[in-house]
Structure 1
Amino acid sequence: MLTSRLNAYRPLVLGIGFTAVLAMAGFGIARFPYINKIGPLAVAILLAVFYRHFFGYPENLRHGIQFSAKKLLRLAIILFGLRLNIDVILQEGMPLLFRDFLVICFSIGLMILLARVFKADDSLSVLLGIGTGVCGASAIAAVSPILKAKEEDTALSAGIISIVGTLFAVGYTVIRPLLPFNAEAYGMWVGLSLHEVAHVALAGAPAGEDGLGMALLGKLGRVFLLVPLSLLLIWFMQKKGKQEEGNQITFPWFLVGFILMSVFGSYVEGRFFTIPNDVMKGISSLTSFLLTMAMVGLGLSVSLKDVRQKALKPMLLLIVTSLLLSVVTYWLV
């Protein structure tokens, strides 16, 4: 009896362990010079894609891999809520949120428009637009269940935006001495225009504490708007589901967890009791690792045979959108 139960859980445990091993390999490889600019998430996705290409999908581990790709992904998004300090954003008021709102509308709208003009893949383009406007791979992971995006599209868009965002972050640090910005203005430009929190930290660090603080503030406003954006997408998909029989959208309850964790981190922790910094850093590291494991699970669904035809146009359009976003936000600062 016990043996049969253990055998039943074996594919689950081994599959989760397999995604953890590839995630750890991604973190290890990402420590090397130059590669460390890309980040472990993108490296881990690439490892998963290449594993699938050369060795095939490990069908005997599918149960555990799917658990990482779906359940651990939602857990990572919930924990990600701790990084959002709602109180700080609200103190800045409407001017900051309005600029962040414009950034999100511009990014998503332009990606969709360019995708239709150049006949690029719609699903990838929408995900990349949301990732560009909000917070990179984390936003893509959050909205994918709402949009019923394919696992392959989620992994591809997360990998593309991580790599392109890194290139832009490095480019920002190179051109910073040429810009007529003080540290705070440069930081705000970084926070309004770059893709992921990690990219904002990378590009904002050379501007010192004031510049980096302003950069993260601008970025957190965009993360804050992930919640109303998700609710809007839920409404849109439900409306679409009523028009398409049998295509109802289920409410993504993990977003409630994201909001609760944000409220906890903003108004409970630090006021009623304090969590040690080492513990908070550990939770942040765990969040990043769980998200990387989830992306490994999604990356294993990607077929390289389809990548060139499907992903090349959206990637080029992402670069164009990111360049134009940099120009537009330059004038918003």
Structure 2
Amino acid sequence: MHIQFFQHFNRLGAESKYEWVINRTRRLGRGLLITAVLAAAAKYLAQLPFLNIMGQLVLAILLGILFRAAAGLPEKAAEGIQFSAKKGLRAGIILLGFRLNLHDIVQAGPKVLALAVMNIVFTLVTVYLLCRVMKIDRRLGILTACGTAICGAAAVAAVSPQIKATDNETAVIAATVAVLGTIFTLIYITAYPFLGLGESGYGIFAGATLHEVAHVIAASVPVGQQASDLAVIVKLTRVALLAPVALGLGLWENRRQRTKNENAQSKKGEHSKEEINCQPNKLPVPWFIGGFLLMSGVNTLGILPDELTAGLLVLAYLLLAMAMAGLGLGIDLKTFGRLGGKPFVAGLAGSLLLSLLGYFLIQHMGLM
């Protein structure tokens, strides 16, 4: 397809090429401008009281949905919006790796890593099974489980390409998990005096069970600096586990699709067993997850100045917010209502069970 595109482009005259570039730049520019404005508005709103609990990414999704409901989706901007939602998203995930310092995760100790792994595995399995019991579409179930278990909207967006989820499915579940995280953040802040946890224990609890990084920060900062620092370290430990989860899901999806194809071919009698077995088994290559890990390694080694790293993180969140706005622009409220109801219930139950498990493990692992 790419070869055909370049062959067609090369056949154009100089003037036609110029016009094509100008027209494509305009189409991309309109969409990028809309998503950038929504992302900037989300960042501003995220600095306001109460809205800071939701965070820039959550607000960007909601603003995108509201913009479409109020003004519709500009057809001439569709290409740029899609570019933000797909290409910009992957670039943002790669740059988000600069948040991770692997030394901090190692220094947090094996108990914190074990806590993060147990919480993620438990939540992935529990939420996915709940979704299957409730007859929720398989892709929606996987996205809900990953968003609840790992890191909210960012996890949903990162896993989505691995399971070939649609933009509608991705946007709806990202928004659903984001709303759930906001609800639980408010519950945590209110319940802190009654939990019987010290400042460090509460920080670990928040980092191990809340959805978005923004939720973790919002829930822990009012308690104290120690709680906030530990909460972020534990949360980033969960974020680091996004890479193996995404890779594992990609391998699983690839194997599932291959088995499905083999069964279909076998029923049709189009190929012999030997021919089927000789077909190549393509492995998914989540290059953006590899980039995420690479940037984490660069940050851990301290190769770049702190000022540059901070600037790249600002760019990462801008790109992610633009991507979330693009996803929000891709759905309408009717679609959200149609797809989001059952996953919300499953995510709510899974979030509650995750909180209870996290609280139980912290008490029994001596992390209070």
TM-score (norm 2): 0.84
**Superposed counterparts of 1:113-192, under 5 Å:** 113-192=129-208
| 2:25 matched residue in structure 1 | 9
CA distance in structure 1 between the partners assigned to 2:245 and 2:56 by the alignment: 27
C-alpha displacement at 1:65, in angstroms? 1.0
CA distance in structure 2 between the partners assigned to 1:33 and 1:188 by the alignment: 24
CA distance in structure 2 between the partners assigned to 1:152 and 1:56 by the alignment: 16
CA distance in structure 2 between the partners assigned to 1:35 and 1:13 by the alignment: 29
Letter in 2 for 1:282: G
Q: Percent identity?
A: 40
Letter in 2 for 1:5: V
Change (3 A) 1:318 1:149: same
| 1:219 matched residue in structure 2 | 235
| 2:87 matched residue in structure 1 | 71
Letter in 2 for 1:321: G
Query: What are structure 2's unaligned runs of at least 5 residues?
Result: 1-14, 263-280, 363-368
Secondary structure, aligned partner of 1:39: helix
| 2:3 matched residue in structure 1 | none
| 1:279 matched residue in structure 2 | 308
| 1:327 matched residue in structure 2 | 356
Letter in 2 for 1:91: Q
Secondary structure, aligned partner of 2:222: helix
Is the CA contact (8 Å cut-off) linking 2:62 and 2:328 kept in structure 1? yes
Letter in 1 for 2:328: G
**Superposed counterparts of 1:193-272, under 5 Å:** 193-245=209-261, 250-267=284-301, 269=302
Change (3 A) 1:37 1:3: same
Is the CA contact (8 Å cut-off) linking 1:124 and 1:311 kept in structure 2? no
CA distance in structure 2 between the partners assigned to 1:15 and 1:249 by the alignment: 33
CA distance in structure 1 between the partners assigned to 2:32 and 2:248 by the alignment: 33
C-alpha displacement at 1:317, in angstroms? 1.7
**Aligned equivalent of 1:111, options 127, 133, 140:** 127
C-alpha displacement at 1:50, in angstroms? 2.5
TM-score (norm 1): 0.92
Is the CA contact (8 Å cut-off) linking 1:75 and 1:254 kept in structure 2? yes
Is the CA contact (8 Å cut-off) linking 2:132 and 2:141 kept in structure 1? no
Letter in 1 for 2:349: V
C-alpha displacement at 1:250, in angstroms? 4.3
Secondary structure, aligned partner of 1:132: helix
Matched, 1:316 2:357: no
C-alpha displacement at 1:322, in angstroms? 0.9
User: For each residue in 1:214-260, what CA deviation from the matched residue of structure 2 results, as whole angstroms up to 9, or x when unmatched?
Assistant: 21221122112112112211211221221234996742211111111
Greater than 4 Å deviation, 4+ residue runs: 246-250
CA distance in structure 1 between the partners assigned to 2:199 and 2:152 by the alignment: 24
Secondary structure, aligned partner of 1:57: coil
CA distance in structure 2 between the partners assigned to 1:22 and 1:120 by the alignment: 31
CA distance in structure 1 between the partners assigned to 2:174 and 2:38 by the alignment: 16
| 1:56 matched residue in structure 2 | 72
Letter in 2 for 1:153: E
Larger Rg: 2
Query: What are structure 1's unaligned runs of at least 5 residues?
Result: none
Is the CA contact (8 Å cut-off) linking 2:152 and 2:174 kept in structure 1? yes
Matched, 1:295 2:324: yes
Q: How many positions carry a matched residue from both structures? A: 328
C-alpha displacement at 1:109, in angstroms? 1.0
CA distance in structure 2 between the partners assigned to 1:209 and 1:33 by the alignment: 19
User: For each residue in 1:264-284, what CA deviation from the matched residue of structure 2 results, as whole angstroms up to 9, or x when unmatched?
Assistant: 0012x1xxx5513x4333322
C-alpha displacement at 1:4, in angstroms? 4.6
Secondary structure, aligned partner of 2:285: coil
Letter in 2 for 1:140: V
Give the root-mean-square deviation of aligned CA atoms: 2.0
Stretch moving more, 220-229 or 76-85: 220-229
Secondary structure, aligned partner of 1:102: helix
Secondary structure, aligned partner of 2:224: helix
Is the CA contact (8 Å cut-off) linking 1:78 and 1:254 kept in structure 2? yes
Change (3 A) 1:322 1:18: same
